[in-house]
Amino acid sequence: MIDDSRQARWERRAEFPLAVASLLFLAAYAVRVLAHGLSPAWREACMVVALGAWAAFAVDYAVRWRLSGQRLRFVRTHWLDTVVLVLPLLRPLRIVHVYEAVQRRRARPRLTLHARVMAYAGLAALLIGFAGALTVYDQERGARGATIETFGDAVWWTCATLTTVGYGDVAPVTPVGRLAAVGLMGCGLVLLGAVTGSFSSWLLQVFAREGNEGNADSADSADSKSSAGGKDGARPPGNTPGASSRHDDGA
């Protein structure tokens, strides 16, 4: 059943604009980090776009907090939204909400729904990985003893960190870079768990449905054989082979 509360209506209406704001925030941050020699005017423009996107996130959070009527309980039960408000680059982590919705389903498994979750998790991994690479590169370039000197190094390190491989050939040395590394490790575990958990859930539901259908087919086959046997056993005595000849001999 669709939730038609004021908060649910607001969330449905704000989802697409907030997604656009997330992309604008990420684009503005990427331009500031990657565009070397950017003029002060363009840097200021990127800052305005980033602040505007963050303001949209803050307005959305405030409206949902107001409509919920839960006050401090809203902050505790929506801790992920609170983290995303403080760190807008982590907004793709809202995949957790979609994953929880799939896990609560008890209906017939639908591959399209689970595939959507896995696709969204992959997209979230790309966005978070890109944001993490930007953050680490911005902090590590020019630092003393840094091994991440180019954006390519940052992307390679991000891939190894998100997939929980961790080659160790490059690593952040600055405090902010290491803090970003811890966040990426956590994000990698969350997204990997969402994908594997959703796929495993779908497989288990499919196997269970196939098992139930197999049991039902076996029961139907047994019932059919029982019915056929009952009809053969109820054949009238006069129709039994040899019954007429025995009757005539007796006469």
On average, the pLDDT of the chain sits at 78
What lies within 8 Å, CB to CB, of 164 at 6+ separation is 185, 188, 189, 192
pTM score of the predicted model: 0.67
* pLDDT tens per residue, range 174-209: 999 999 899 888 888 888 887 788 778 878 877 887
* pLDDT tens per residue, range 205-246: 778 877 777 676 666 666 666 666 555 555 555 555 554 444
pLDDT for res 136: 94
Distance CA(78)–CA(87), nearest Å, equals: 14
